[in-house]
Chains A and B, each alone.
Chain A
Amino acid sequence: MSDLQESSVTNSERWERTKQLLEEALRLAPDQRPAFLDCACGADAELRAEVESLVVAHEQAGSQFLNPAAAETINVTVDPFPAPLNEVIGHYRLIEQLGHGGMGVVYKAEDTRLHRFVALKFPNAALVGRVGAERFRREGTILARLTHPHIARLIDAGVSTLGQPYLVLEHVEGEHIDRYCDARSLTIEARLRLFLNVLAAVSHAHANLIVHRDIKPSNVLVTPEGQVKLLDFGIAKLLEDDTRPGLATVLTREGGWVLTPEYAAPEQVTSGPITTATDVYSLGVLLYLLLSGQHPAGSGMHSSAELLKALVEIDPERLSDSAAGKRKLMPETTAENAARRGTTSDKLCRTLRGDLDTIVAKALKKRQQERYVSAAALADDLRRHLEHLPISARPDTLAYRAAKFARRNRTAVSLASLAVVALAVGLVGTVTQRNRAEKAALVASAQRDFALRQLSRAEAINDLNAFLLSGAAPSGKPFTVGKLLANAEHVVNRQYGETDENRVEMLIAIGRQYQTNEEDARALPLLAKAHELAQKTSDRALRGKAACALATTSAHTGEFQRAEQLISTALNGLPYEPQFALHRIFCLLRGSEVSREAGNVQLGLERAQAAQRVLGQAPFASAAVDLQVSMDLAEAYRMAGRHREANSAFREVAAKLQALGRDDTETAGTVLNNWGLVVNRLGRQLEAEQLFRRAIAISRADRTERSVAPMLLNNLARTLLELNRFSEAADYAERAYAKARQAGDEIVMNQALSVRFQIYIDQGDVLRAAQALAELQPRWKRMMPPGHIAFAILPLYQGLLAMKRGDRETAIAKADRAVALAEANRENLTYLSMAFLLRRAEVNLTFQRLDETKDDAEKARAIEQTAFSEGPSSRVGSAYLMEARALRAQGKFNEARVAARSALEHLEPTVGADHPKSKLARTLAGE
């Protein structure tokens, strides 16, 4: 580089001029530049040439040149391991380096005790760092038990004295399977038989619940004797990040590719669950390659981005078409591929057409559920093909689709018969339960029978209703209210005879269904009609029920006084006698909902608790009623801020839902979401994340992606933010915002903006934080009533922004104001004070106000520990950490260590050992 050419421009004034012209030229469209330079440079040809050459250089440089954000900026070519040959690790002596790549470095080594060769693998330190040496050893031991003639054994796993983890594997001398087959021109049948050995090895591992996750030709070797050996079983899993299952198998945050995307299954890219079907996909790619000589994504060089897109979106070309070179191949390549399989391209195409097309296509389905469940199932079909038996996989033909349609219709038919059975079984079931319940024996039989009749009627109606709404619209056409009611009435009249009582029940049942769907406008006329009809009957229980059902819709539409009036009148009208237990429970639950809706959380809780007491004394047992009470009680605890009780109540509800087989219903999704909120409040974010993800999975499975509530996405975003996973959090928050905006849900839009602001602030992205706040501020001012807590949050956010900008005075003043406002707001006192104090501590620490930091953190911790938390809480941990940092900065090292240790105890189990806060706490604790 010493021969760098002297630049033509040395004069600094000329250089300034050059820079200016370059900037202006680049602002113009390329075709406008010559004219501009003609004019600007005039006769100065040298200047013009200089600017022009820089414009060219600018275009050539692209955006990546010298870009510090690009992953690979400077290529300092260094051998990763200046071969420490002859070094002894454990009792293995390194002999020669066999290779290195994204996963690490491999050496041939000698086992000095058993005098045999082994392969010693040092996984990339960046990968192992996140796993932890302990888990590495533990899982290594599990893998070591995997023995199969076609699997290269994991002999040992350990950590060297220098702290470098290593794996010791059986040393295999062999060729990659594709090269082995091609070099010997193996026929399709020979290839299939060889491949069956691969499948036998993978099946064995699957039977032991071990998934390979990285099957590709370089991991499938064939020895000179023709023995198949699979390498690296389960090692991808060993290196996976605990806190982000799935993802790390293909990508790591900073390390670039770890595994080759060429053989990855779609779910490895989209962070879906990894199962045995994941290996089936990779096996499908390998089989495709062995049979056709082509990769399913087609020939030619692919960038990683193209491969990923193809992997997730594009169905591969049919195997036989690919071998025939239908799309992209040169004729010579096609012929060559065929020759390597001892045949001609025509014959190859015919061999592959049919069964093999179908088998490979089934292995390569994008959706896991549509693939072979395991390697064994794939092997079965291949074996059947070799024996000319019909295979299990079905091609996607018209006949197949027709079969699927018939299957769908059968579901509808069986649902209809189920509903009829339920009517009968429901009654029998409750009677049996009654016999078992001892307390029932104590109740006068007349009362009991009355209550039972009520219950069975309610349950029957419920079933009927569910049937009408879910099963009776086979064409997918939405029912009109009139049609629905007409249908319902028709059924009811035929079965019960025409009485007003039954009509009222029917109207209430359908109205409640609309309420559940949050369609109160539709519920209102039905429930008003039910209420009106009920008043004319002599049935006190029914009158109460109708009034309470109507009350809920009144509360939903903001008529709190009317709602409360309906509830209390109904409760007063229901005698405290066992036969009215069912209706009293119904009214108490509706009353609880009405109170909560009106903001009286205490009364809401009392009513739910009362319902639970009534249920305990009721002369019947009903799992459905029990579930309803539990759900309302859990929600009432949550709304009343009693998070400890709410947590156990939600756990119970979830167990009941599961016992009833309703754990994938929309109700279960709602329960999981609300439970997640509670667990998050208790400061256990890792747990909360799982609950939100389950809730999202349920609403996705129910219908489409579109049916996931934006609120739910935002709840997950907030939790991810607290887990320091900013880009995921930002992604969810942005999606929540977009969906809320589309749905016109202003409240969730505000919440999403609020979460986004905090993400950007914690990320240090001051610009975007400022943008989010600028959008949020006028919205709150427009929508929120004076005195709303939002007006305490605004100064807090302004303070945080000022903190990031280094504006000490503003940051402190705003944070102080926010805390004062939060403390003045009695209603939300505890939680908000705690959160605000923690944020203010951050501001104080940033500006080295150590005593203030300590005070805030101690106060926040005291609030959290007395009012909320049970067991470890990340919020308590964060407060301790603040204290530790302040103490350390004050030179009080011992006290800092003690606080840091407490912080660690609270942080590790709740946000994970790899969370930056846990790491910092560990450092400060001196561990």
Chain B
Amino acid sequence: MAPEFPNNVTELLKGWHDGDRHALDALLPLVYKELQRLAHFHLRKERPDHTLQSAALVHEAYCRLVGQSPLELENRTHFFAVAAQLMRQILVDYSRRHRAAKRGAGTCKISLDDAAVLPQRKDADVLAVDDALKALAKIDPRQSRVVELRFFAGLSLEEISEAMGIAPATVQRDWTAARAWLHREISRSASP
């Protein structure tokens, strides 16, 4: 299936970069729609273990929307900055809805494959991460952006450094501290 307006997205990103405020307003729904479509598709059908690699989705959305006319670096990082925020929102919405749906839902039946063999996962609950990130944003907004870009959009530390215009060493420090802080907060709230 061909993406609908590939060149349009490119244009909008350029426009936004050049200071056109309306460009962002037009861009957001396009990216949001694509991300949501992809997430929906993956969650419904593709992942055998019902997990989602948000970073992979963001990259996939990028390829579908602008992949055929690669962007210059600045516009590219802008895209990821936007997409990371939207991805976070989509995941949170999903988790909320399914948490609600799960209450009172039927139980799982026989599993065809012996689940025992699968490696034990230590997943972070997306809602927990979201809540903790909100708390972190109050203390250090920059740090919460770093986590968003790394975790939800899968950018490397170098790319984050370029996107945010801060030194790589600072990004590294922010990331290390944020991970430790988030892990502590999430563990605390998980064990009453």
Show the binding face of A for B, using Cβ within 8 Å. 1-5, 7, 9-10, 12, 15, 18-20, 22-23, 26, 53-58, 60-62, 64-66, 68-69, 71-81, 96-104, 106, 124-126, 129, 164, 216, 218, 254-262, 301-304, 307, 806, 808, 845-848, 885, 888-889, 891, 920, 923-924, 926
Please judge, given known A-B contacts A99-B110, A101-B112, A920-B68, whether A256 and B180 are in contact too, CB under 8 Å: no
Contact partner of B109 (CB less than 8 A), chosen from A56, A80, A98, is A98
* Closest A residue by C-beta to B183: A61
Q: Is the CB of A1 within 8 A of B131?
A: yes
Contact partner of B132 (CB less than 8 A), chosen from A1, A75, A216, A808, is A1
State whether the Cβ of B32 lies closer than 8 Å to any Cβ in chain A.
no
Please judge, given known A-B contacts A3-B189, A76-B126, A889-B69, whether A923 and B2 are in contact too, CB under 8 Å: yes
| A80 CB contacts on chain B under 8 angstroms | 44-45, 47-48, 50
State whether the Cβ of B100 lies closer than 8 Å to any Cβ in chain A.
no
Cα distance A161–B154 in the bound complex, in angstroms: 35
Q: Given known contacts A78-B94, A101-B112, what 5 new A-B pairs fall within 8 Å (CB)?
A: A56-B184, A58-B176, A74-B125, A256-B118, A808-B72
* Closest B residue by C-beta to A216: B114
State whether the Cβ of B181 lies closer than 8 Å to any Cβ in chain A.
yes
Cα distance A260–B73 in the bound complex, in angstroms: 43
- Contacts of B26-82 to chain A: CB distance below 8 A: 43-56, 68-70, 72-73
| A302 CB contacts on chain B under 8 angstroms | 117
* Closest A residue by C-beta to B122: A64
Please judge, given known A-B contacts A301-B116, A806-B73, whether A20 and B50 are in contact too, CB under 8 Å: no
Please judge, given known A-B contacts A2-B131, A4-B131, A68-B54, whether A74 and B173 are in contact too, CB under 8 Å: no
Cα distance A78–B102 in the bound complex, in angstroms: 9
Cα distance A304–B119 in the bound complex, in angstroms: 6
Min CB distance B146 to A, Å, is 11
- Contacts of B94-145 to chain A: CB distance below 8 A: 94-95, 98, 102, 105, 109-119, 121-132, 135, 138-140
Cα distance A914–B82 in the bound complex, in angstroms: 30
Cα distance A307–B118 in the bound complex, in angstroms: 11
Q: List 29 A-B contacts (CB under 8 A).
A: A1-B130, A4-B131, A4-B188, A9-B139, A19-B174, A22-B177, A54-B180, A65-B124, A66-B147, A69-B154, A71-B53, A73-B123, A74-B124, A74-B125, A74-B126, A75-B126, A76-B98, A77-B95, A77-B98, A78-B98, A101-B111, A101-B113, A101-B115, A124-B46, A255-B48, A256-B49, A262-B117, A301-B116, A885-B69
Cα distance A7–B53 in the bound complex, in angstroms: 29
Contact partner of B2 (CB less than 8 A), chosen from A18, A64, A303, A926, is A926
Please judge, given known A-B contacts A66-B129, A101-B111, whether A61 and B179 are in contact too, CB under 8 Å: yes
| A62 CB contacts on chain B under 8 angstroms | 122
Q: How many of B's residues come within 8 Å of A, CB to CB?
A: 73
Q: Is the CB of B44 within 8 A of A68?
A: no
The listed residue with most A CB atoms (<10 A of its CB), out of B109, B117, B187, is B117
Q: Is the CB of A924 within 8 A of B185?
A: no
Min CB distance A127 to B, Å, is 8
Cα distance A164–B48 in the bound complex, in angstroms: 15
Cα distance A262–B114 in the bound complex, in angstroms: 10
Cα distance A12–B139 in the bound complex, in angstroms: 6
Contact partner of A72 (CB less than 8 A), chosen from B91, B114, B123, B150, is B123
Cα distance A106–B113 in the bound complex, in angstroms: 12
| B111 CB contacts on chain A under 8 angstroms | 99-101
* Closest A residue by C-beta to B64: A923
| B138 CB contacts on chain A under 8 angstroms | 10
Q: Is the CB of A57 within 8 A of B117?
A: no
Contact partner of A60 (CB less than 8 A), chosen from B150, B187, B189, is B187
Q: Is the CB of B48 within 8 A of A22?
A: no
Please judge, given known A-B contacts A15-B139, A103-B112, whether A20 and B173 are in contact too, CB under 8 Å: yes
Cα distance A1–B188 in the bound complex, in angstroms: 10
A-B CB contacts (within 8 Å), total count: 222
Q: Is the CB of A77 within 8 A of B102?
A: yes
* Closest A residue by C-beta to B134: A4
| B16 CB contacts on chain A under 8 angstroms | none
| B109 CB contacts on chain A under 8 angstroms | 96-99
Q: Is the CB of A18 within 8 A of B177?
A: yes
Cα distance A847–B75 in the bound complex, in angstroms: 12
Q: Is the CB of B122 within 8 A of A65?
A: yes
- Contacts of B148-192 to chain A: CB distance below 8 A: 150-151, 154, 173-174, 176-177, 179-185, 187-189
Please judge, given known A-B contacts A61-B183, A76-B98, A303-B119, whether A1 and B45 are in contact too, CB under 8 Å: no
| A129 CB contacts on chain B under 8 angstroms | 46
| B113 CB contacts on chain A under 8 angstroms | 101-103, 218, 257, 259-260
* Closest A residue by C-beta to B130: A1
Q: Is the CB of B48 within 8 A of A260?
A: no
Q: Is the CB of B150 within 8 A of A66?
A: yes
| A1 CB contacts on chain B under 8 angstroms | 127-128, 130-132, 189
Contact partner of A126 (CB less than 8 A), chosen from B46, B102, B105, B173, is B46
Min CB distance A212 to B, Å, is 15
Cα distance A77–B43 in the bound complex, in angstroms: 9
* Closest A residue by C-beta to B51: A72
Q: Is the CB of A73 within 8 A of B176?
A: no
| B188 CB contacts on chain A under 8 angstroms | 4-5
Please judge, given known A-B contacts A74-B91, A75-B123, A806-B73, whether A125 and B2 are in contact too, CB under 8 Å: no
Q: Is the CB of A304 within 8 A of B118?
A: yes
State whether the Cβ of B7 lies closer than 8 Å to any Cβ in chain A.
yes
The listed residue with most B CB atoms (<10 A of its CB), out of A20, A23, A61, A106, is A61
Contact partner of B51 (CB less than 8 A), chosen from A19, A76, A97, A307, is A76
Cα distance A761–B22 in the bound complex, in angstroms: 36
Q: Is the CB of B48 within 8 A of A258?
A: yes
Min CB distance A394 to B, Å, is 33
| B52 CB contacts on chain A under 8 angstroms | 73-74, 76
5 closest A-B pairs by CB = A75-B123, A806-B73, A1-B131, A101-B113, A57-B184
Cα distance A260–B45 in the bound complex, in angstroms: 20
The listed residue with most B CB atoms (<10 A of its CB), out of A76, A78, A80, is A76
Min CB distance A305 to B, Å, is 8
Cα distance A65–B175 in the bound complex, in angstroms: 12
Please judge, given known A-B contacts A2-B131, A5-B189, A101-B48, whether A73 and B53 are in contact too, CB under 8 Å: yes
Contact partner of A23 (CB less than 8 A), chosen from B48, B56, B105, B173, is B173
Min CB distance A16 to B, Å, is 8
Contact partner of B48 (CB less than 8 A), chosen from A75, A102, A926, is A102
| B110 CB contacts on chain A under 8 angstroms | 98-99
* Closest B residue by C-beta to A258: B48
Q: Is the CB of B179 within 8 A of A73?
A: no
Contact partner of B185 (CB less than 8 A), chosen from A4, A19, A20, is A4
* Closest A residue by C-beta to B177: A19
Min CB distance A766 to B, Å, is 9
* Closest B residue by C-beta to A14: B139
Q: Is the CB of B189 within 8 A of A73?
A: no
Cα distance A257–B118 in the bound complex, in angstroms: 7
* Closest A residue by C-beta to B68: A885
Q: Is the CB of B129 within 8 A of A126?
A: no
Cα distance A76–B138 in the bound complex, in angstroms: 26
Min CB distance A857 to B, Å, is 15
Q: Is the CB of B114 within 8 A of A60?
A: no
| B72 CB contacts on chain A under 8 angstroms | 806, 808, 847
Min CB distance A800 to B, Å, is 14
Q: Is the CB of A99 within 8 A of B48?
A: no
| A66 CB contacts on chain B under 8 angstroms | 124, 129, 147, 150-151, 179, 182
* Closest B residue by C-beta to A9: B139
| A55 CB contacts on chain B under 8 angstroms | 180
Q: Is the CB of A7 within 8 A of B135?
A: yes
| A75 CB contacts on chain B under 8 angstroms | 50-51, 121, 123-126
| A57 CB contacts on chain B under 8 angstroms | 180-181, 183-184, 187
* Closest B residue by C-beta to A61: B183
Please judge, given known A-B contacts A68-B54, A99-B110, A806-B72, whether A76 and B94 are in contact too, CB under 8 Å: yes
Q: Is the CB of A72 within 8 A of B179?
A: no
Min CB distance A820 to B, Å, is 25
